[in-house]
Amino acid sequence: MARFIYGILFILALPLILLRLWWRGRREPGYRAQIGERFGRFPQTLTSGAIWLHAVSVGEMRAAVPLVRVLRSKFPAAPLLLTCMTPTGRAMANMLFGGDAAITIAYLPYDLPWLTRRLLRRFDPQILLIMETEIWFNLVHTCSVRRLPVLLVNARLSERSRTGYARFAPIRSLVREALGAMTVVAAQSVDDASRFNSLGARKVVVTGNLKFDMPLDQALADQGSAWRAVLAGKRRVLLLAATREGEENLLLHAYRRQFDEAARNEVLLVIVPRHPQRFDEVFRLAASAGFAVARRSAATISPDKCDVWLGDSMGEMAAYYAMCDLAIIGGSFAPLGGQNLIEAAALGRPTIIGPHVFNFSDAVALAGHAGALQQVADADEAMRTARVLLADDSKRKAMSAAALAFTAAHRGATEKTAGLITAVMSPAS
């Protein structure tokens, strides 16, 4: 009954969903493209028997890289269907996998049974892999009815989300039904596994976090070093990574308060907003705060001194981390749950993170225990801590070594996850 009511409410909400899609398309035109796919209309053709992997947006798509590589190696004859929900996720998928003719990239249809059935008829997948936290109730039910194995991989569930799901009986019923219908939940941590079990998951296996297995892109690392040589000179580079709306203003003003003019002259501040539609907004914000701002997207990278360099590009986060001495991770200074810190740690970068990390609490706790990061209470404390660390080479060096050791110690999730997938796809093995 709960799923029936959910379906009715979803249908009633469709006009508002489409209106919001069109509205967001004013700033991000990708939301107005390929709308037919969101209703199960796909122009692509794909050989049947595909491995279907769903990654909602940029972070999940990037996390899927090591898994996709292993799957292409283990199942070379099986085509791969990649679905996502956001234009930035699709752009990232095209950037990472667009050159592989065996991979089809598309939007996931809205969560109505007949739309999912259209996708299943078109692509006839043999397994569905859902990255991290996406639980679409009709999608999972429709796949279960067709006996299509569904695995939630790299699965994470914050205590905040678990409590929210459990609070209301109808939602709790929907989540319990969906998790119970999944073949396997491959959880990132023991705590994640416990939370999934408490909500009704039938089989949960702890495999670790795929993001620890992300391969180093040496070309991007070299690019970051080249940027630093041109732009920073002898200045330290302080990176504000994956910042979200409202955070840049907090951090810029805290930077001005905690770094006097002489200290600011010794620092190049690099800001990389999380969402590309906000690049222009952040440029104007930094300029109006009195900083001399330059942009990555400029035709040439000028060695002329700037106070702030705006990282307005996609797919180059590793280069921004490679150029910095210290990174402050965004998404954590407003109640947004934080952003992934593993990429910074994998490059050996000391990290500061704010108080709001409920989406990455396990990784933050592990990294903090290892000595790879410092967690702070607010933007001012972040900048006070940054000023101390930028002046202390030995402390940063120790944090860098700790970050590299932290990431090395947690690798191996990809092979464990691939083993589960292989067991489902080839039960005789």
pLDDT tens, residue by residue, 97-113: 988 888 999 999 999 99
Query: For the domain 218-409, what is the CATH superfamily, name and number?
Result: Glycogen Phosphorylase B; (3.40.50.2000)
In angstroms, the CA 92 to CA 69 distance is 15
Average pLDDT for 176-192: 96
CB atoms near residue 320 (< 10 Å): 29
How far apart CA 167 and CA 174 sit, in angstroms, is: 12
pLDDT tens track for 36-90: 999 999 886 677 889 999 999 998 999 999 999 999 999 999 999 999 999 999 9
Burial code (b: 16+ CB inside 10 Å, e: under 16) for 59-72 equals bbbbbbbbbbebbb
Domain residue extents for the chain: 33-208+412-425, 218-409
pLDDT tens column, 251-298: 999 999 999 999 999 999 999 999 988 999 999 999 999 999 999 998
What is the C-alpha separation between 308 and 271, in angstroms, rounded?
7
> Pick the catalytic residue: 37, 60, 132, 343?
60
**Pairing mode of beta strands 373-375, 103-107:** unpaired
**What's the pLDDT tens digit per position in 138-168?**
999 999 999 999 999 999 999 999 999 999 8
Region 214-240 average pLDDT:
94
> Per-residue pLDDT for 132 more than 90?
yes
Q: Which tokens is 242 given?
A: 């994956």
Put the strands of the sheet holding 236-243 in their side by side order.
Answer: 293-295, 308-310, 267-273, 236-243, 326-329, 351-353, 373-375
- Structural class in CATH, domain 33-208+412-425: alpha beta
Who contacts 395 (Cβ-Cβ below 8 Å, separation ≥6)?
Answer: 350, 388, 389
**pLDDT value, residue 427:** 63
Average pLDDT for 206-221: 94
How far is residue 89's CA from residue 69's CA, in Å, rounded to a whole number?
18
Under 8 Å CB-to-CB from 388, ≥6 apart: which residues? 395
- Helix, strand, coil percent content, the chain, rounded in steps of 5: 50, 15, 35
Quick check: is 60 catalytic? yes
Q: What is the pLDDT of residue 429?
A: 44
218-409 shares the fold of 33-208+412-425:
yes
Q: Where are the beta strands (DSSP E) in 312-392?
A: 326-329, 351-353, 373-375
Quick one: pLDDT band at residue 30, thresholds 50, 70, 90?
Answer: confident
Mean of all residue pLDDT scores within the chain: 93
Q: How many CB atoms lie within 10 A of CB 98?
A: 14
Write out pLDDT tens, residues 333-373: 999 999 989 999 999 999 999 999 998 988 999 999 999 99
